[in-house]
């Protein structure tokens, strides 16, 4: 089941997992060491991130290695860019309006 990447980044723990794995590939156990929640809870977050396509898991021997897959974050970036443009336009219009009212 493929989940929406927005669901993946909605939770602060999942965002912190992505930040942790941003530069390094780590095992699930090494990821869990960085959090004060149970190992099964971390595994659940990792599973959601994998279902969202934000993480890739590779089995090597007995260990499962996690790494970030940034491609789905393009959707988030595009959405934020749209919002940024929208608010830039609105704030520019407000500035113009206020400046014109101030000249009266």
92 and 60 belong to one structural domain? no
Q: How far apart are CA 3 and CA 5, in angstroms?
A: 6
Chain Cα centroid distance, residue 89 = 26
CATH number of the structural domain spanning residue 29: 1.10.10.10
**Per-residue model confidence as pLDDT tens digits over 14-67:** 999 999 999 899 999 999 999 999 999 999 999 999 999 999 999 999 999 999
Is 60 in the same domain as 16?
Answer: yes
Same domain, 63 and 82: no
Rounded Cα gap, residues 21 and 16, in angstroms: 9
How many other CB atoms are found less than 10 A from the CB of residue 76?
14
- Cα 20 to chain center, whole Å? 12
**One domain, residues 50 and 3:** yes
Residue 8 and residue 55 in one domain: yes
What residue numbers bound the domain in which 9 lies? 1-69
Read off the pTM.
0.75
């Amino acid at each position: 089941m493929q989940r929406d990447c927005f669901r993946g980044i909605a939770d602060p723990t999942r965002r912190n997992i992505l930040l942790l794995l941003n530069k390094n590939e780590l095992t699930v156990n090494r990821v869990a060491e960085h959090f004060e929640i149970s190992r099964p809870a971390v595994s659940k977050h990792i599973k959601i991130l994998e279902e969202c396509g934000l993480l890739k898991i590779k089995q090597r021997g007995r260990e499962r290695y996690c790494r970030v897959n940034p491609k789905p974050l393009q959707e988030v970036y595009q959405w934020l860019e749209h919002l940024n443009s929208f608010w830039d336009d609105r704030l520019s219009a407000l500035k113009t309006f206020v400046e014109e009212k101030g000249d009266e």
